[in-house]
Structure 1
Amino acid sequence: MTPSSKYNEFMQQSGFYPDQAQQHALYLLDRLYENVERNESEQGLITKFVRILGISSKQVRGLYFWGGVGRGKTFLMDIFYEVLPIKNKRRFHYHQFMQQIHDELSITRKGKNPVKEIAKNLARKTKVLCLDEFVVTDIGDAMLIGRLLDALFDEGIILITTSNTPPEELYKDGLQRASFVPAIDLLDQHCQIANLDGGQDYRTLGLKHTKLYQVPHNRAAIEIIENYLNSHLVSVKQHDSLFINGRQINFEFCAEDTVWFSFDELCKTTRSRFDYLEIASLFNTVIITGIEAMNEGTMDVARRFVSLIDVFYDRRVKLICTADVVVEELYQHDFLAFEFTRTVSRLLEMQSLDYIGQTHFV
C-alpha cells in the first residue's frame, strides 16, 4: 500500500476532504516510497562492492515538510512511515533525537570524530530517518546539527522531517547563526522542500467538534475520546510507555503528536515540572482521563496538577479530559485555593475555540 492509497482510505473513513497542498505532498511521498523500495531491491553484492571501492551511488533525496499548525505534516509523515515496507526505519521527535545524540556524544567524545562515529552507528540500523517538529532554538544544537546532518547524509541516510518554518528561517536571529547556515544548505541539497500552508487546519477542526472536558469519567466519556482518536490519527501505539527525563511513564495511547495518560500516572506518581515541560515539548495534544476531586488529603497531587496545567497552558498544549466533577469543583480546600483559582480559569480557557486555534509552543 502506497502513502496516497493509505491516505485515501483514511479520508474515506473520516469524512474529510483532501486539499491541494496535501495532494502535492502525497505525490512527493509516493515518489520517495518508490525510490526507497527500488534502492532497497538494488542492494546486493554489486552495491556492497561499489561501496567498498568508495564509489558513491546516487543519493535518494528526502523530504522537508513545513507549514502552520494542523496542516497534516506529522500525519503525512506517519502515513509514509507506517506503509514503508522496510525494517531499517526509525522515527523520533526532534528533541528526543537530539537528546539521544548529546547523550551518545558524552560517551564517544574520546574518538577523533565522534559525530561521524555516531552517524555510522545509526546508519547500521537506519536507512530512513523521520524527525517530527524540526526546530533549532539552542546554540548547542545549532553548532552541532550541521556536522550531524553532513555525517548522516554521507552515510546515505534518507531524512523526512516536519517543521513549522522553512529551512532558511531555522535558528533565525540566533547566536553565531552564520555557523548554522551550512546546515540549511545541506537540507536544501538533500531534501525536497514542500510547504503545506493554505489548507484546512485538521487538528483544530477535530477538536472543535469534540467536547474537551467530559463529566463524569465513565465508559461513555472514554468512547467519545476513542472515536476522536480513531477518526483523526494513524500509527497508533496502545498501553505502552515512554521515557521522560530518564524515567518511565505509562500511556494508554500514543500516535503522531497526541498522547493519552491517566490522571494517576501524571499526578499520583513522583513527577516534576520538568517532566511536564518535556511532555509539552513532545506532544501538541494531551488526553488525561480519570481526574479526581482534590482536597487537604491530596495536597501533593493538587500541586502536581497545578504545575501540569500551568506548563500545558504556557506551551498552548491542547487538552482533552475526563473527570469525576466539573472544573469548578476539582479542588475543595483553602490551602492552594489561590493557585487553583488560576488553574480553574486556565482549564476553562483551554476549552475555548480561541485557545485551540493558537500555535503550540515547543
Structure 2
Amino acid sequence: MTPLLRPPPRTARDTARTLLAGMEHDAARSGFALEPSQRQAAGRLAAFGAEVTRRRRALSRKTPRSLYLHGPVGRGKTWLMDSFYARLDARKRRVHFHDFFRRLHSGTQAIDSGSGTAIQQSVDALLDGTEVLFFDEFHVHDVGDGMFIARLLRTAAQRRIPLVVTSNYAPDELLPNPLWHDHFLPTIEAINEMMDVVEMNGPSDFRRFPAGGTGPAYGSEVFRSGRVISPGTPRQLGRLGLFRPPSSQSRVVSPTTQPIIVKNSDPDLLWVGFEELCNGLTSTSDFLVLADHYKTWVIDDVPSPAKADSASAPAWQRFSNVVDVLYDQDVRLFLIGPDSLDWDLETSGNVLPVDLARIASRLSLLGQSQHHAAVDTDGLENEEAAGS
C-alpha cells in the first residue's frame, strides 16, 4: 500500500500571505480597499501572525516582537486589529483600555491587598493562558494608570507574551502632562525596545468621510443608530420614539459602589441626566456595568461643549469615558442638549478632555436632529437629520 503523503509544513511566508489575504478579503467584503498605511500595517500584522504560528508549532522558540499601531482617530486601527484577531489561530485575549482597568481593580479587590501582591496577581490572571494580548485604545493620562501599565508590560515581557496595541498616541506622546511625563519615560523606552511601532496616518478620518470604496464603515452598527438631539422638543423626541419620563419613574441604581439617580431604567433602556451621570463620583467601572445591562442609553441635559465651563473638567472626562465605553460595547446612544452639541473644538486652555478629537470622531457617527427657528409653510418645526 502506498503511504499517504502529508503536505509539507506551511512556511512563515505562506502563513503571512494567508493572513494578509484574509484582512484584504474582510475589507473587500465591507466595500473598501486598504489604503497604503493600512496595508503596510496589515503586512506587519500578517508577519507577526506567522511568527506566532511558527512558535505554536514548535518551529521557533523566538518570542515575536510586539506591535504598536498608532495614528490619528478614524484611520482603522481597531478595525484592522479586530480583523487580524479573528483570523489568528492562537490563545488570545482582547481588552479595551477601560475594560483592562475594570478587570485590574476588580481583581485587586478580590485579593487580599495586605499581601502586597494584589496588582501582580491581577495582572497574572489577565495573562494566564494567553499567547497574545490585544490591547485597544492604549493611552495614559494618569500617573497611577502609568504604573499599572508598566507592571503589565514588564510581566508580559517576563512571560514572553507579545502584545498588539492600538493607540492615538505615538509612544513618546504618552502621558503628555508635563508634570508627569518624565515619570513615564522608562516605560516609553521599554515600549520602544519591545515593540515595533507602526504608524497609520492615512489622510482621512473615515468615520467622518466614509467615501464609497475608500474606507470602512467605522463604528459599531448599533452605536451609530443613535442620535444627537437639540434642543430636545417633544416633537423631536416623539419622532424617535422617545418620551421624557415623569419624575415618578426616577430611581437609584448602584452598578458598583456608587449610587446614581436615573430618570428611568426599563429592561433595555437607561435614561439619565448628564449631571447625575458625570458630575458625581461615578467611575468607568460603573459605565461598563451599566453598558452590560442597558443596550440603549439616553443622556439628557448635556451642556454645549462650546460652553465648556458649564461642566467641570472631571465631568467632561467622565463623559468622554462614557462615549468610549458605549462605542466599544456597541450600545445605542441618544444625547439631548438644550444648545448645539458641536464637538469639533480646540481643547487647549479649557476644561474639555484631551481626547476630544477621538470623542468628536465617534460622535460624528450619530445622526443629528436640530430644531431651527425657521418654520415651514405648514407651521411645523424644520429639522435637520444627517449622519456621517
Is TM > 0.5 for Structure 1 vs Structure 2? Answer: yes
1:245 match: 287
1:45-98 deviation digits (Å, cap 9, x = unpaired): xx9xxxxxxxxx532211100111111111111111111122x31111112212
Give the alignment partner of residue 143 of structure 2, picking from 118, 129, 139.
139
1:25 match: 41
Give the alignment partner of residue 206 of structure 2, picking from 202, 209, 225.
202
Distance 1:312 1:250 in 2: 26
1:39 matched to 2:58: no
Residues 190/115 of structure 1: CA separation in 2 closer, same or farther (3 Å cut):
farther
1:4 matched to 2:20: yes
Distance 1:7 1:119 in 2: 31
1:97 match: 100
1:84 matched to 2:127: no
1:14 matched to 2:30: yes
Residues 311/59 of structure 1: CA separation in 2 closer, same or farther (3 Å cut):
farther
Residues 58/85 of structure 1: CA separation in 2 closer, same or farther (3 Å cut):
closer
Q: Report if the CA contact (8 A) 2:137-2:165 is conserved.
A: yes
Runs of 5+ consecutive residues of structure 2 not aligned to the other structure? 1-14, 218-223, 229-235, 242-267, 269-283, 301-314, 345-351, 373-380
SS of the residue 2:26 aligns to: helix
Q: CA deviation at 1:131?
A: 1.1
Distance 1:118 1:287 in 2: 28
Distance 1:212 1:84 in 2: 32
1:282 matched to 2:282: no
Q: Which moved more, 1:275-284 or 1:96-105?
A: 275-284
1:318 matched to 2:363: yes
Q: CA deviation at 1:134?
A: 0.8
Paired AA for residue 137 in structure 1: H
Residues 17/212 of structure 1: CA separation in 2 closer, same or farther (3 Å cut):
farther
Q: CA deviation at 1:212?
A: 8.3
Q: CA deviation at 1:191?
A: 1.3
Q: CA deviation at 1:279?
A: 2.6
1:165 match: 169
Q: Report if the CA contact (8 A) 1:134-1:163 is conserved.
A: yes
Q: CA deviation at 1:312?
A: 7.8
1:75 matched to 2:117: no
Relative to the length of structure 1, the TM-score reads 0.61
Give the alignment partner of residue 178 of structure 1, picking from 177, 182, 191.
182
Paired AA for residue 74 in structure 2: G
Distance 1:126 1:183 in 2: 22
Q: CA deviation at 1:310?
A: 6.4
Q: CA deviation at 1:189?
A: 1.9
SS of the residue 1:165 aligns to: coil
Residues 176/275 of structure 1: CA separation in 2 closer, same or farther (3 Å cut):
closer
Residues 283/175 of structure 1: CA separation in 2 closer, same or farther (3 Å cut):
farther
Q: CA deviation at 1:287?
A: 6.8
2:191 match: 187
Residues 6/151 of structure 1: CA separation in 2 closer, same or farther (3 Å cut):
same
1:333-352 deviation digits (Å, cap 9, x = unpaired): xxxxxxxxxxx9xx96x958
Q: CA deviation at 1:12?
A: 2.3
Q: Report if the CA contact (8 A) 1:67-1:164 is conserved.
A: yes
Runs of 5+ consecutive residues of structure 1 not aligned to the other structure? 48-56, 219-238, 253-260, 292-303, 330-343, 357-362
Paired AA for residue 159 in structure 1: L
1:130 matched to 2:160: no
Q: Report if the CA contact (8 A) 1:139-1:175 is conserved.
A: no
Distance 1:328 1:122 in 2: 48
Q: CA deviation at 1:135?
A: 0.8
Relative to the length of structure 2, the TM-score reads 0.57
User: Cα RMSD between the aligned structures?
Assistant: 4.3
SS of the residue 1:39 aligns to: helix
Residues 111/29 of structure 1: CA separation in 2 closer, same or farther (3 Å cut):
same
SS of the residue 1:99 aligns to: helix
SS of the residue 2:371 aligns to: helix
Q: Report if the CA contact (8 A) 1:64-1:162 is conserved.
A: yes
SS of the residue 1:204 aligns to: coil
Residues 274/305 of structure 1: CA separation in 2 closer, same or farther (3 Å cut):
farther
Q: Report if the CA contact (8 A) 1:244-1:279 is conserved.
A: no
Residues 27/321 of structure 1: CA separation in 2 closer, same or farther (3 Å cut):
closer
Q: Report if the CA contact (8 A) 2:288-2:325 is conserved.
A: no
Q: CA deviation at 1:197?
A: 0.7
Paired AA for residue 363 in structure 2: K
Residues 202/320 of structure 1: CA separation in 2 closer, same or farther (3 Å cut):
closer
Q: Report if the CA contact (8 A) 1:104-1:118 is conserved.
A: yes
